[in-house]
Structure 1
Amino acid sequence: MSRILGIELRRSGALLAGTATAVIGVAGLYVLALTGQTGLWDQQWNLLAVFQRIMLVVLWPLALAAGAWQAGRDRRSRIEELLGTTPAPGWRRLRPSALATALCLTTGYLLVLVAGAVKVATTAGYPGSGWQAVTAVGVLALVAAGLLGLGLGRLLPYAYTPAVLGAGSLACLLAAIEATKLDDATKPGWALLLPYFTSTISEFQAVGGAASAGQAWWLGGLAVGGLVLYLATNRLVRTLAVAPPALGLLLAAPMLTVTAFPVDAAAVAEVCTTDGGPRVCVTAAHSRKLPMLVAPARQALRLLAKLPNAPTSVHEAVPVPTRPQPASEAWLDADNLSSAGGPAELTARILAGAGTPLCLRNEDSDYLAVLRARAVTAAWLYGSHPVPGPALAPAEQALRDTMWKAFIAQPEAEQQRRVAAVRAAGLDCGDQAAALGIGAGR
């Protein structure tokens, strides 16, 4: 069997399909480096596994077309009738081709994981939970496409079948992206039946075990159905090929109502300093960034000490509802932790809103007004205006300069009262722009 498989690997299109999977997948990962967007997948093993699944929107039609092309090899070579006269059962002759296709597609998919792992290993702290299952289901999805392509290619042995299957499935999958947009992305419902994920997740989320198990049932049934369709030698057995996908769909149905991307409790758990100084904490997902945060965070605490009831520790605030902010803590948005340009800018971002994260109460909140109030607050605490950070548009900077001048024209005690009011508003997700009282219409 191993000798036959080796011949199959050398002479069939399976090896080419696996190679194309690896090349396109690796290119899909690293092309984001050109625009600095590798953060979509290189911060955590979970993110890498999910991003690979997103790329199946392209890789799945490729595998489907490759399987159909492979199935038509005997017909293209005009040896179909000759092979039909051999005494060996047809399924035995076709089995190595199916095995080679599955093996090559699996290897190609895993090579993409290995290529991404090179970068993830240098940046990830907490690996995330469940990524192994996500990867395994991705492999199963790709193998299912290859086997289904083999089955459909043998059922419809025409020259145009691979092209129609590849282009048609790609068009359908792209259309499904738009059709499956939901208000609650954590509960995608029937979109979980697609071979790919329609969106990525944050480093604070995981793919639920129930979702992965349901997808495995469905895609496994699809793979078995494609294999039966390919190996079948009579019409009755081919008709029975619909049974495995139907059973898989039945077993997968409960996953359609679950929360597919729950908050990962281990990812949002805090990791804190233990050196005896003021506590500085980050989430486990960003544990590698704790050393770079310590000095800027403690500098921010020294500057915040001029406020009454000043905070005594700094904590990363995650973008999920966990707990109310205590008055004794200064919080830093997780996005700011990742995007700050240096220690001085990181200190300034902690001081924005006097140590409170950005919070908009409803869709009618004046987003820019809140940002301006937080910037003025940061400048007052930092001791200079503007604070370190990216350059703004001239018109926006001029507006903030005007607000700053109006604010420092107030008596010192009134300035302190207003900054404290901004912090109090931020602790309760109130209107920080109104609390500052400086700006257009105030």
Structure 2
Amino acid sequence: MTGRILRIELRRSAALGIALLLLVIGTVLLLSSTRFFAGRWMQLAVLARSTLVVLLPLALAGGAWLGRRDARYRVNELFASTVRPRWQRVVPTAGALAVTVVTAYILVFVIAAGWVVPTAGYFPGATIVVTAVGVPALIAAAWLGMAAGRAVPRVITAPVLAVVGFVLVGLVPEWASAPGTGAEIGQPRPEPAGVLLLPAFTGLDDFQTIATRVSLLQALWLVSLAATGLLLLGAVRRRAIAFAVLPALLGVAVALPLLPAGGARGAAVVDPVAIELVCDNDGPQVCVTRAHAALLPDVVGPARQALAMMSAKLPNAPVRAVQTQQVTYWARLTSDAAPPRHSADTVVFDTPTINWVGRADLSGDYFLPSLLDAVWRQECGDQSVRGDVYRARTVATAWLTGQLPAPQPGSDPAETARLESAYQALVSLPEVEQRRRVAATREGALECRDDELVALLPADQP
């Protein structure tokens, strides 16, 4: 009997329309951001979770709209006069809404996976767990919305819940990490652990993942919240309403003390498999990380071209090129996340831009110069770069290519003149002296000695 009612609800209630709305909006949100997850499963999982900022308020509002159905058709008193308990009548409707919103969420993920499967070279197991947290989140939102719609059967209930849900899920984490005041002005405040009770998650480096412990604790809390929503939906007496709140309270009591502080920053950990190197050895070795294995065919050519240009002019030139293994988002999370220092025979290049199909976007002319510039860089612990250091790197790279890069639109004419003067001063020296100075610059860069690096510039330059 219950199964037949469930099928009727799936066909005739507003549950299907609510799910279609979630499907369309979730798909549009993800497919408008394909370049941020194409070829990378974990990034897709995180972006799927980020869509909850919009999908959860919609599920709340949809549940409220469905929850006021009995009052809208004025059948509350009729149903209350039957001998069947209320929970038997609400379970099929609640089940239909849960099935449809979960199906919509899964379909959004499956559709977006079409931009990952063709080029993904690594599937982190945590992808399933990270994505699955959205399931109890949507069910909880839908059932709480139904309970609110039943308790306050007004037309305005659904839009008010949508606004409240968006403020809670989307804006509260932003406020929690807003810059402080006084001595902390300009610095983000550490987010309290309670922020992780909200399931939406944004901002993750390609080499990071969400700790499985955090995802499981979030799922535990959300399942308990969904149970509270269902119990509130079926509650009639005050004692039943008070009892309905217990699962959510127990979920908070268990999960909150175990969740890390710092919000998303505290939940993220470096994935050691993602930063493993995958190499092409058919010539000078070129390596990329496993998370970006699909980029290897694209970067091999430019990387070997850069190595050839270095070996033609630079003494003790690098003989292999390796993609950086550094976590760039939020700088380094811990000292353990610092990438290994490579030897002098290795040049470490930054991750190229990834296009909407998960391949390296080399349409511009920036990648080869960035490879050449990488020979003057080393992981020195300080992420800031002085102006004179940047200028010395630019001049040294121009010495390799034989010309300075064209000035960018809006660049400072005085800085352009300084670069031109420094470059002409270098190339006007005897060739042996040029090689000696550039070799000293390379050595200074490898040893993180900026003074030796900037010695390439004329003495009269600031």
What TM-score, normalized to structure 2?
A: 0.85
Tell me the residue number matched to 1:235. 238
Q: For each residue in 1:53-74, what CA deviation from the matched residue of structure 2 results, as whole angstroms up to 9, or x when unmatched?
A: 1121111111111111111100
The question of whether the paired residues in 1 share the 8 Å contact of 2:190 and 2:261 is answered with: no
C-alpha change, 1:282 and 1:245, in structure 2 (3 Å) is same
Tell me the residue number matched to 1:99. 95
Show the 5 A alignment for 1:224-303.
Answer: 224-253=227-256, 254-257=258-261, 259-275=266-282, 277-303=283-309
> What SS is found at the alignment partner of 2:349?
strand
Provide the C-alpha distance between the structure 2 equivalents of 1:435 and 1:220, rounded to a whole number of angstroms: 62
Superposition deviation, residue 398 in structure 1: 3.4
Show the 5 A alignment for 1:20-419.
Answer: 20-32=21-33, 38-181=34-177, 189-197=193-201, 199-253=202-256, 254-257=258-261, 259-275=266-282, 277-305=283-311, 306-320=313-327, 321-335=338-352, 341=362, 345-354=366-375, 356=377, 361=382, 363=384, 365-366=385-386, 368-386=387-405, 391-393=408-410, 395=412, 398-399=416-417, 400-419=419-438
The question of whether the paired residues in 1 share the 8 Å contact of 2:207 and 2:271 is answered with: yes
Superposition deviation, residue 357 in structure 1: 5.6
Moved more, 43-52 or 179-188: 179-188
Provide the C-alpha distance between the structure 2 equivalents of 1:260 and 1:63, rounded to a whole number of angstroms: 25
Q: Which runs of 4+ in 1 moved over 6 A?
A: 182-188, 336-339
C-alpha change, 1:353 and 1:110, in structure 2 (3 Å) is closer
Superposition deviation, residue 369 in structure 1: 4.1
Provide the C-alpha distance between the structure 2 equivalents of 1:31 and 1:215, rounded to a whole number of angstroms: 27
Q: What amino acid sits opposite 1:252 in the alignment?
A: A
Superposition deviation, residue 308 in structure 1: 2.8
Count of matched residue pairs: 431
C-alpha change, 1:241 and 1:430, in structure 2 (3 Å) is farther
Tell me the residue number matched to 1:35. none
Tell me the residue number matched to 2:182. none
Moved more, 127-136 or 74-83: 127-136
Superposition deviation, residue 15 in structure 1: 0.9
> What SS is found at the alignment partner of 1:119?
coil
Structure 1's unaligned 5+ residue stretches are 33-37
Superposition deviation, residue 406 in structure 1: 3.0
> What SS is found at the alignment partner of 1:324?
coil
Q: For each residue in 1:384-421, what CA deviation from the matched residue of structure 2 results, as whole angstroms up to 9, or x when unmatched?
A: 3338xx95545468343343223322332332233223
The percentage of counterpart residues that share the same residue type is: 38
Structure 2's unaligned 5+ residue stretches are 179-186, 328-337
Provide the C-alpha distance between the structure 2 equivalents of 1:23 and 1:392, rounded to a whole number of angstroms: 40
The question of whether the paired residues in 2 share the 8 Å contact of 1:186 and 1:262 is answered with: no
Q: What amino acid sits opposite 1:416 in the alignment?
A: R
The question of whether the paired residues in 1 share the 8 Å contact of 2:349 and 2:374 is answered with: no
Provide the C-alpha distance between the structure 2 equivalents of 1:331 and 1:185, rounded to a whole number of angstroms: 33
C-alpha change, 1:64 and 1:342, in structure 2 (3 Å) is closer
The question of whether the paired residues in 2 share the 8 Å contact of 1:296 and 1:344 is answered with: no
> What SS is found at the alignment partner of 1:331?
strand
Q: What amino acid sits opposite 1:190 in the alignment?
A: G
Provide the C-alpha distance between the structure 2 equivalents of 1:55 and 1:435, rounded to a whole number of angstroms: 51
Tell me the residue number matched to 1:436. 456
State yes or no: 1:12 paired with 2:17: no
Provide the C-alpha distance between the structure 2 equivalents of 1:75 and 1:152, rounded to a whole number of angstroms: 12
The question of whether the paired residues in 1 share the 8 Å contact of 2:38 and 2:115 is answered with: yes
What TM-score, normalized to structure 1?
A: 0.89
> What SS is found at the alignment partner of 2:287?
strand
The question of whether the paired residues in 1 share the 8 Å contact of 2:133 and 2:218 is answered with: yes
Superposition deviation, residue 300 in structure 1: 1.9
Provide the C-alpha distance between the structure 2 equivalents of 1:61 and 1:129, rounded to a whole number of angstroms: 29
Provide the C-alpha distance between the structure 2 equivalents of 1:435 and 1:333, rounded to a whole number of angstroms: 25
Q: What amino acid sits opposite 2:79 in the alignment?
A: L
Whichever structure has more helix as a proportion of its residues is: 1
Tell me the residue number matched to 2:181. none
C-alpha change, 1:311 and 1:186, in structure 2 (3 Å) is farther
